[in-house]
Structure 1
Amino acid sequence: MGIDPARGTGPAGEADRVRATGPESDLAKESDRVVRWLPVVGLLGRLDGVGTQQALDVLVSAVVRAQSASPRPPYGAPLDGCRTAVLSAAYLADEADVYLGQFRETDTRLRTSRAFGIRGWTVLALVDTFLSIGWFTEAETLIQEAAAEATVLRLPRLQADLQAQALALQALRGTVPPEPWLTPSVWRGVCLDENRATHARLLRARGLASIGLGDWDGGWRHLRELFTADGSPLHPVLSPRNIAELAVTAQRVGRSDEVMPVLTRVRAAQGDRPSTRMTLLLHHATALVDPDEDAEQHFHLALVNHEANRWPWERAHARLSYGIWLRRCRRTREARQQLTTVLETAERLGAGALAASAARELRASGAAPTPDTSGLLAQLTAQQRQIAQLAARGLSNREIGEQLFLSPRTVGSHLYNVYPKLGISRRQQLRDLLQDR
């Protein structure tokens, strides 16, 4: 009844197994014609000077021209089908955040026209994106709405995917309920061998839920199943996006060496120009499990690219690992700086599990688990307090930014907001005010 956006052109632009799913219908036939154009995105995206937007524009033009000779159904299936395919390709190339507004607009149009057959698979990509960028409230709303539609229309596979995404959301928020987590009657209607995207979402969700309940061995077991014994991905797109989570779990249970074959395969599959998101995840994983690499250098490479701010949860996750590494190296002041930033990001996103981990590590480093609520600093956010204290010690905006992996402009913006809260107007006053704190 549409396109499974998780089976298609991978982040490196290689054509994969892309096929329509569900019973034959006018929408399914339309989608089948659109699918044949998906590899064009990968080919165009690899040409120097041709951006993703241009590639998508060319793809849209080509598909629309191909359809112009035939009558268009009144509900707009050809154009919506083409647009859905294009946006799905952007999602597969880790550019879904850039086109998030278009994704949401298309979803609204499909919902208004009650074209849930094709919209259902678009929803899965949209929820994945919401989860990855920390829009948890939006993800919850969309999951609930789509699950109700899928139940009415009796779409067990879509119900299964949405249940897996709902469980992942609970794990990220730190609100995992006791088992059973899933509805058996729904999953009995799904063949995981034939639906690897569903299987991958399920394994990640169960892995995160196990970790959330303190079962690290269970978390390792589920996340490791995202890859075969020789390191091949269960799913070519969704599995590699979990490489950092797998590395974190492996380090926790003492099985880091078992991740190296997986990491090697994922690196090779991404090629010389991985997406910003995959670059972040690969450096994070390498810092944790590759004994032949400089761990701190890879932590820096994971965090230094400010474009990675588009993936705030994953960047904060890497920063948490760096903070833990610094603490174990007895560099407690630097560790606290990183962990405080993690805590503030997690609290802003509503990522309860990440916030709890950061608070535990702050306690282990000798710092208070929550911001100090006494005195003048109580008015500031955790990151503003960090920046103010570093500025009071005489560090420049650039030096502060280098320590906290922020741009000098962002540091200056924070200080601009800090001064009126503290009743001062100059940097020298900041030093006088906070020099003993």
Structure 2
Amino acid sequence: MRELATVLNVFDAVQAGRGGVLAISGQAGVGKSRLVQEAVGRHGMDLRIITTTGAQFEAGLPYTALQQVCAPLLEDLGSLAAAHAEALSRAFALDRALPGRPMADDGFLTLGVGVQALLARAAARTPVIWVVDDVQWIDEASARILAFVARRIASTSAGLVVAARDDDVLASFGGASLRLAGLPDPEARDLLTAAVGTPLDPRVRDRIVAEARGNPLALLELPHAISTAGLVGGYGCPPHQPLPETLEAEFGRRLAALPEASSMLCLLAAAEPTGEAALLWQATARLGIPAAAGTAAEATGLVSFGAQVLFRHPLARAAAYHGGSDAQRRAAHRALADVIDPVRDPDRRAWHLASAATGPDEAVAAELARCADRARARGGAAAAAVFLEQAAHLTPDPRQRAGRLLAAAAAKRAAGWVPDATALLAEAARDPRDARQVALTEVLRARLAFDLRRDPDALMRLLTAGEHAVAVDAVLAREVLREAYAAVVFVGRYGTPDAGSRIAAATAVLPPVPEPSSRDLLFEGLFTERLDGPAAATAVLRRAVDRYTEEPASRYTLGDLWLACAATLECWDENAFREVAHNQLRAVRDSGAISSLPVALSYRALAHVYEGQFAEAQRLVDESHRIAADLGTPAMAYVDVTIAAWRGDQAAVEQIAAVATADATVRKEGRLLTAVEYARAVLLNGLGRYGEAMDVSARAALLDEVAFRTTVPGEFIEGAVGAGRVDLAVSAVQRLRRAVAGATDRDWAMGLLSRCEALVADDADLAEQRFQDAVARFSRTTLLTELARTQLLYGEWLRRAGRDAPARTALRAAYESLTALGAGAFAARARRELTAAGGRPRHSAARAGARLTDQERQVALVVAGGATSKEAAGQLYLSPRTVDAHLRSIFAKLGVTSRRQLAEALRRADATDRVPDRL
């Protein structure tokens, strides 16, 4: 069976020390759990298998699923680093198990690394497989940590098998994928006949098979809903319903036939997420349920009572829970709350108390609010939102309820649950609110609008909300006005002319800040730059950037996320840009603020682009697109189109640019248009189509937008000089001098200025001096793309001056660097120039082949053997999208354009590695 072989391959790989991930999807009852059980059975005692199953009613309780898979490994907790052990103990409410260890504000990253370390230690002794079924129902906090670990277990003897009904739910885990379909009709008919044990009327049989759609569980369970006589005679077939509801109804019918005590025992077992048997029996004693009640319950075949209480299928558990009355469910939760230790597990106890409440209860609501604080401290924005929402609905005081609803809405927004946040704001608006709460409602609505659209209308909503907040909350007003300014930058050329002056006027009436924070300095600098020019703002921006690079990631505020990166670019500080982008991405991941991830990922990717790491940049961009699609927010196409341009992928640039331009024009997001114009200019300059590069970047060059001063002028000037419009280039160089006036100590700024001055110089000695200065300055930076471009331009200038020998040296250095980076169009341009100068370039495929990473080489070999991306992903335990991202880098490095060329290119690269290069 192919499906079983796929699972066994993962198990075999883990046993051999190659960790892997397998994501199994398929409708309820299709056989996902059975498939994994069969694989477990075949491996016997060779692997340590730890399983857990998600359940609908525990999804709001953070880290439930994670605790279940980690619990058997906690024997190694004491051997972990202190920060990791503390993060795990806090997440699982084990703080008392580690007396004397200080509490710290651990975030998502610390917990993720701690879980990874815990798993690795256990796997070093015996290979470990975590099996997580019904992932669509596990809590968000557990899902994020498991996905984090999944991407980092390739070098361990550990594996993760995740199963869910939908492919989308499993996308974040990566790894190989397996989609289970229903049984073919012949096999379905055989299974149904065996389940009934009696010959069936063919018409009845075929109808049941058709309604079951090949689902094995339906074929086994549906006959119990109809008498044998009905089946044989053609009567009693149930009406068509969605399959899960049909199965749950059948499970419910069987459970309803139980004695009352047994039925209540099943409900109680279903209500407790952990399935902890000892806890269950304590709760049954409180409810007066005799132990003998379990015998009748087990006789249904739907539940078993051992060391852990297990239901045959999650739908059986759902049936047991929903089959009781509201009063019975409340009684079950109350009994469970009574027997849970409030010190050891306060969050789970509070969750049961909330489920047991019959009406508003401030004591329970306050405890839930404290749960939210604990969840937030652990990086659980999603869990905090759930607790706050529950707390609000149990709060008796209307004004306090409105405050908790607003806090829940803010947490939902941070977690990326926009529809839920919108609904909570509408609910809060129905309660009486004070002036600050009214202002906060308006602010949250404006923020959600800008998250979804990033257009001028959303900008004006932010601006208006900030102006209204001035009179009631200076701190909130200052924060929102800053966001409005960030929105002005985003909207760019489509912005309202008076937006800047309105922000300035509203900010001017706010009380001064006695000790400016990094955020205060950042916005003071950016606003000064907007009003008075770059030179006037340099000192303040430099102080802001220094603060951001000195502060730990945990101190970063999400409100100024991308503008802090923009400030580093305004200071021409590539090292600070990389550091701030890295730290802000870490801060976003730690906080669980999913809605901010697309922007954070994009800026970190851009830092990789500047350093010529296109494959790594593409990986982050792909993640950004996936998250934006999940959130329903506009995709961040800024870096995607830039990567394609640097790689010289004309088709990709035009495709991305067309979609992004149409989208940006409709939404009026001017900054995106500038990014597209810059990327197209990069591509066109690489192709040597200078006039088109000049034309496409002309407007962006004149706009002189924040964070584009480091890139756009160079493209416009190179295009203008190449097109013979030196007059336009000279004017642009003058503007560039003004832009770098406050950054004379930065090699990036002065290197670009020297290069551009060399291009327009009419004196040969001055031009050469400027080129050499530019090469020297870029050599002191990490900006490998800029260094290679400068060497190319210098070599071209030397060749046109008739100095072929030094031209060959510069052009060969440019060609080799650009080829190694994967900058396809520029590498081809350098190759043409080197050949014209009388040089013989090394074969790009051979030269670059040696620079393939180990994983790129594995991908190349598998694909060269004829595998599709999906097949390669299955063999290498990667996702198909990751394989495609690697292929883009491989194609650029090997200088090929199709999969058919890979085998020969790899052979040439291997042959060249064995022959000394005589050039």
- TM-score, normalised to structure 1, is 0.65
Task: Give 3-state SS (helix, strand or coil) of 1:305's partner.
Answer: helix
Distance 2:701 2:539 in 1: 27
The 8 Å contact of residues 243 and 282 in structure 1, kept in 2 or not, is answered as no
User: Who is 2:743 aligned against?
Assistant: 273
TM alignment of 1:34-433, pairs within 5 A: 36-39=520-523, 46=539, 54-56=546-548, 79-81=557-559, 86-98=564-576, 100-111=578-589, 113-156=591-634, 159=635, 162-177=636-651, 180-182=654-656, 187-191=661-665, 195-212=669-686, 215-228=689-702, 233-274=703-744, 275-291=746-762, 294-305=766-777, 308-370=780-842
* SS of alignment partner, residue 651 of structure 2: coil
Question: Closer, same or farther in 2 for the Cα pair 1:191/1:178, shift >3 Å?
Answer: closer
The offset of 1:346, in angstroms, is: 1.3
Closer, same or farther: CA 313–38 of 1 in aligned 2, 3 Å? same
After superposition, the Cα gap between the structure-2 partners of 1:308 and 1:180, relative to the gap in structure 1 and judged at 3 Å, is: same
Superposed CA deviations along residues 98-135 of structure 1, whole A, max 9, x for unmatched, are 45245324313413544133333333332322211211
Q: Which has the larger radius of gyration?
A: 2
Cα distance between partner residues in 2 of 1:181 and 1:154: 21
Provide, for residues 306-357 of structure 1, a one-character-per-residue CA deviation record: whole Å limited to 9, x for no partner: 6543211111111111111111122111111111111221122222222212
3-state DSSP of counterpart to 2:841:
coil
Give, in whole Å, the separation in 2 of the partners of 1:21 and 1:127. Answer: 30
Q: Please say which of residues 295-304 and 121-130 is displaced more in the overlay.
A: 121-130
**Mean Cα deviation higher: 117-126 or 315-324:** 117-126
Preserved CA contact (<8 Å) 1:210 1:219: yes
State how far apart, in whole Å, the 2-side matches of 1:192 and 1:226 are: 19
2:797 partner amino acid: W
Shift of 1:83: 7.2
Question: Structure 1 269/212 Cα, relative in aligned 2: closer, same or farther at 3 Å?
Answer: closer
Please say if residues 210 and 216 of structure 1, whose CA atoms lie closer than 8 Å, have aligned partners that are also in contact. Answer: yes
Structure 2 distance, partners of 1:343, 1:155, is 40
Tell me, in whole angstroms, the C-alpha distance in 2 between the residues paired with 1:185 and 1:173. Answer: 19
Which letter maps to 2:811?
L
SS in 1 for 2:809: helix
Q: Take 2:623 and 2:461, find their aligned partners in 1: how far apart are those partners?
A: 20
- Encode CA deviations 1:350-400: one digit per residue, 9 max, x unaligned: 222222121111100111122699xxxxxx99xxxxxxxxxxxxxxxxxxx
The residue type paired with residue 252 of structure 1 is: G
1:154: how far off? 2.6
Amino acid at match of 1:311: L
Instruction: Supply the AA of the counterpart residue of 1:224.
Output: A
Q: How many angstroms apart in 2 are the aligned matches of 1:34 and 1:51?
A: 8
Report the alpha carbon displacement of residue 286 of structure 1 after superposing the two structures with TM.
1.0
On the 8 A contact 2:791/2:811 being kept in 1, the answer is yes
Shift of 1:184: 5.8
In 1: Cα distance, 2:807 partner to 2:660 partner: 45
1:125 aligned partner, one-letter code: Y
Contact 1:97 1:129 in 2 (8 A): no
- Determine the C-alpha separation between the residues in 1 that align with 2:706 and 2:562: 20
- Supply the distance in 2 between the matched residues of 1:153 and 1:351 (Cα, whole angstroms): 32
Cα distance change, pair 237–290 in 1 and its aligned pair in 2 (3 A): farther
Distance apart, 1:45 and its partner CA: 6.3
Counterpart of 2:828, as a letter, is: A
How many percent of aligned residue pairs carry the same amino acid? 21
Q: Matches of 2:729 and 2:482 in 1, distance apart?
A: 38
For structure 1, the 5+ residue unaligned runs are 5-18, 65-75, 374-379, 382-420, 424-433
Deviates more, 1:114-123 or 1:132-141: 114-123
CA-to-partner distance for each residue in 1:29-80, whole Å, 9 max, x for gaps? 4974975431466889638xx877644468x69xx9xxxxxxxxxxx89745
Structure 1 pair 79–351 and aligned structure 2 pair: CA distance change class (3 A): same
Q: How does 1:20-31 map to 2 (within 5 A)?
A: 29=480
Residues 172 and 36 (structure 1), Cα distance of their counterparts in 2 relative to 1, 3 Å cut: same
Larger displacement relative to structure 2 (217-226 or 28-37): 28-37
User: Partners of 1:167 and 1:283 in 2: how far apart?
Assistant: 27
CA RMSD of aligned residues (A): 4.3
User: Cα offset for 1:278?
Assistant: 1.7
Unaligned runs of 5+ in 2: 1-446, 451-457, 467-475, 484-516, 527-535, 852-913
CA shift at 1:301, angstroms? 1.3
Letter in 1 for 2:594: F
**Residues 134/90 of structure 1: CA separation in 2 closer, same or farther (3 Å cut):** same
Instruction: Write the letter of the residue equivalent to 2:836.
Output: A
Greater alpha carbon shift after TM alignment, 81-90 vs 296-305: 81-90
Counterparts of 2:688 and 2:590 in 1: how far apart (Å)? 43
SS at match of 1:353: helix
Cα separation, 2, equivalents of 1:121 and 1:144: 12
Query: How much has 1:82 moved relative to structure 2?
Result: 6.2
Partner AA of 2:628 in structure 1: A
Q: Aligned equivalents of 1:366 and 1:84: distance in 2?
A: 47
Letter in 2 for 1:170: A
Aligned counterparts of 1:263 and 1:192: Cα–Cα separation in 2: 33
